[in-house]
Amino acid sequence: MRIRKSTVKWFVLYTSARAEKRVAERLREKEIDCWLPLHRSPQVWSDRVKLVDLPLFRSYIFVHCREVLLQQLPLIYGVSHVVCYNGKPAILRPKEIEAIRSFLEQAAERPLVVGEEAEILTGAMRHVSGKVQRIHKNYLTLYIEPLHATVCVKLDEVAPANRLK
């Protein structure tokens, strides 16, 4: 039996807290087309900073399927419910999915830009922010106005200041 393309739509599932990646894995195991938009974010531990992939929308995952399949999806461990609007499953248009994909591509290409405010994540100057003056291969130079100083910092030890809040 062939599935007509017009019957397959994008729907939204709400998951348990921090279960998005596991739910996406379970959906793929059942051969259900799904998409979990992820973005890279620096996570700070006491001894290091690591870039990790986090869900762009916490507790949400998108599925591309027929509406009749939606009734079975809450039975998958970690899926809380199907997101509804006016009593019916919420449908995302393909152009909305493409807009999210485009946003993620643009954000990945330009994590920091010259003139942007960046915050240092580790070391003695942790939580100090400054303006990016130059971006080099593995490090950047920041101008810290209150100190009237320019410092060199490794790229993986800084993050855009406005994204941390």
Alpha-carbon dihedral 54, 58, 59, 62, rounded to 10 degrees: -80
Residue 6's pLDDT is what? 54
CATH topology of domain 117-163: SH3 type barrels. (2.30.30)
β-bridge pairing 88-89 and 33-35: unpaired
pLDDT in tens, the chain (165 residues): 555 555 899 999 999 999 999 999 999 999 999 999 998 887 877 777 777 899 999 999 999 999 999 999 999 999 999 999 999 999 999 999 999 999 998 877 777 888 999 999 988 898 899 999 998 888 999 999 999 999 999 988 888 887 544
5-109 belongs to which homologous superfamily?
NusG, N-terminal domain (3.30.70.940)
| Domain positions in the chain | 5-109, 117-163
Q: Where are the alpha helices (DSSP H) in the chain?
A: 20-29, 94-109
Q: Are 32 and 63 in contact (CB under 8 A)?
A: yes
Please state, in angstroms and rounded to a whole number, the distance separating the CA atoms of residues 105 and 129: 26
Q: Are 56 and 104 in contact (CB under 8 A)?
A: yes
Non-local CB neighbours of 88 within 8 Å, separated by 6+ positions = none
- Kindly tell me the burial class for residue 113, based on how many C-beta atoms sit within 10 Å of its own C-beta (0-12, 13-18, 19 or more): exposed
pTM: predicted TM-score of the whole model, two decimal places: 0.75
